[in-house]
């Protein structure tokens, strides 16, 4: 066999091997492509099925996903509790009237471990302690407070291993009907867990013994049972993330509780940890909700909104031309139906010093005129506590 023949055989063999390898590669690529398309097709089918079920049930797809997790895994709530129970603490205080107790939870703010609780839990206390789920108790001190949001931050003299922080997520995605979990220490029963749903959003509640004239705005209403001692505990979604902090119950109510939304906590946490005052937007007005009967008395067809009945001192809105009997029906283009709408919008979307546009219905003679008034928001005066 000549030298040429040997080179030819080697070349042919290499060429055949190259073709074989190329065939394998092409086959692999084609197989991956087909598999990728099948996976995408399955994902689309699942997504379409979820959307169809969503329309059929009348709920959002993410809520269905939460329920799928719950129903497929009967231990979901147990697992959430096991993950978060060590992050919930018992807050005990001493006052001139005796002892008080509530709940709180651990949060990591830029490397600083703190306990977040309600203002009314630590109000007028002369000494404080925090007890973790393992029974270990430590001295605590108040670092920052905001009575207008019923929030307080505590620093605890405890070793690092005791702190197991929870994650706080935005409450903006909450909808009425979403399932929620409350964990706290009702009546001193440490580590109690209850469940319920978000039953309303954007409520305004008052704590007359702590703040006067103003309410705590943009509150979550929940059916999760909340009892004395729960105050300051976390309100969680079904991923175990904090969406609120339980704050109050209505006396003699049946399954009606309230929580400060997590957006308020996230907005204020820096000021609470660093110890400076957080400013709340202020119009300086007194008013009442409109309804059909009031509209009939006034001789107007405006049956919604917030009727101005007086002025506080100072009054940024009064200084800019708002008058008694004016009906605020919108702010920055957002419809205002009642006190809850007005207070929640101011709390969630504005800051002192900003200019807002009030849309006001004003009766002039026999006609109702709608006018716009630009108001530079003030800051609420110090609470009378």
> Given 162, 189, 219, which residue is the final one in a domain?
162
The pLDDT assigned to 358 comes to 98
- Taking the chain (385 residues) in runs of 10, the rounded mean pLDDT of each run is 53 60 61 64 64 54 54 66 95 91 96 96 94 96 94 97 97 94 87 93 78 83 88 94 88 78 96 92 95 94 96 94 96 96 95 97 88 96 70
The pLDDT assigned to 72 comes to 42
298 and 360 inside one domain: yes
295 and 220 inside one domain: no
The pLDDT assigned to 10 comes to 54
Q: What is the pTM of this model?
A: 0.78
Neighbouring residues of 233: CB distance < 8 A, sequence distance ≥ 6: 88, 102, 103, 104, 105, 182, 183, 184, 185, 245, 246
* Distance from C-alpha of 224 to C-alpha of 234, rounded to nearest angstrom: 12
* Distance from C-alpha of 129 to C-alpha of 281, rounded to nearest angstrom: 33
Q: Pairing state of beta strands 137-146 and 98-109?
A: unpaired
* Distance from C-alpha of 282 to C-alpha of 276, rounded to nearest angstrom: 18
184 and 257 inside one domain: yes
The pLDDT assigned to 71 comes to 44
Q: Residue 172: inside a domain, yes or no?
A: no
Give the chain's domain count.
4
DSSP 380: P
The pLDDT assigned to 188 comes to 77
* Distance from C-alpha of 44 to C-alpha of 74, rounded to nearest angstrom: 27
Q: Residue 218: inside a domain, yes or no?
A: yes
252 and 183 inside one domain: yes
What helix, strand, coil percent values describe the chain, rounded to 5? 35, 35, 30
Q: Pairing state of beta strands 281-282 and 179-184?
A: unpaired
Q: Residue 138: inside a domain, yes or no?
A: yes
> Given 266, 296, 324, which residue is the final one in a domain?
266
The pLDDT assigned to 248 comes to 76
Q: Residue 89: inside a domain, yes or no?
A: yes
The pLDDT assigned to 18 comes to 63
The pLDDT assigned to 42 comes to 65
In contact, 264 and 337? CB cutoff 8 Å: no
Structural domain containing residue 222:
179-266
The pLDDT assigned to 43 comes to 62
Residues acting as catalytic residues: 120, 150, 231
258 and 298 inside one domain: no
> Given 208, 242, 266, which residue is the final one in a domain?
266
CATH of the domain at 137: 2.40.10.10
Q: Which residues pair with 275 in a beta bridge?
A: none
* Distance from C-alpha of 357 to C-alpha of 23, rounded to nearest angstrom: 70
Q: Residue 61: inside a domain, yes or no?
A: no
Q: Residue 230: inside a domain, yes or no?
A: yes
192 and 238 inside one domain: yes
């Amino acid at each position: 066999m000549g030298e040429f023949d040997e080179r030819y055989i080697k070349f042919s063999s290499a060429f055949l091997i190259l073709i074989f390898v190329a065939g394998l590669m092409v086959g692999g690529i084609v197989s991956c492509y087909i598999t990728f398309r099948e996976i995408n097709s399955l994902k689309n089918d699942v997504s379409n099925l979820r959307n169809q079920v969503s329309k059929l049930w009348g709920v959002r797809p993410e809520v269905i996903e939460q329920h799928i997790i719950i129903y497929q895994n009967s231990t979901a709530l147990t697992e959430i509790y096991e993950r978060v129970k060590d992050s919930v603490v018992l807050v005990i205080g001493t006052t001139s009237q005796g002892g008080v107790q509530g709940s709180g939870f651990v949060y990591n703010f830029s490397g600083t471990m703190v306990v977040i609780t309600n203002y009314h839990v630590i109000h007028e206390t002369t000494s404080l302690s925090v007890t973790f789920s393992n029974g270990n108790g430590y001295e605590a001190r108040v670092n920052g407070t905001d009575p207008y949001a019923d929030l307080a931050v505590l620093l605890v003299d405890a070793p690092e291993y005791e702190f197991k922080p929870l994650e706080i997520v935005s409450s903006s995605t909450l909808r009425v009907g979403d399932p929620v979990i409350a964990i706290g220490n009702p009546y001193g029963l440490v580590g109690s867990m209850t469940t319920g749903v978000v039953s309303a959003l954007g409520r305004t509640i008052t704590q007359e013994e702590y703040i006067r004239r103003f309410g705590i705005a943009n509150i979550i209403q929940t059916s999760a049972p909340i009892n004395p001692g729960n105050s300051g505990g976390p309100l969680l979604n079904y991923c175990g993330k904090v969406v609120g902090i339980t704050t109050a119950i209505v006396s003699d109510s049946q399954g009606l509780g309230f929580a400060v939304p997590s957006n308020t906590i996230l907005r204020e946490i820096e000021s609470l940890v660093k110890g400076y005052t957080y400013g709340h937007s202020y119009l300086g007005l007194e008013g009442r909700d409109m309804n059909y009967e009031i509209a009939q008395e006034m001789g107007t067809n405006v049956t919604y909104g917030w009727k101005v009945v007086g002025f506080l001192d100072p009054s940024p809105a009064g200084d800019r031309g708002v008058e008694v009997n004016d009906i605020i029906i919108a702010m920055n283009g957002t419809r205002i139906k009642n006190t809850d709408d007005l207070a929640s919008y101011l709390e969630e979307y504005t800051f002192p010093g900003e200019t807002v546009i009030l849309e006001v219905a004003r009766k002039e003679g026999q006609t109702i005129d709608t006018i716009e008034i630009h108001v530079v928001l003030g800051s609420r005066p110090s609470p009378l506590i």
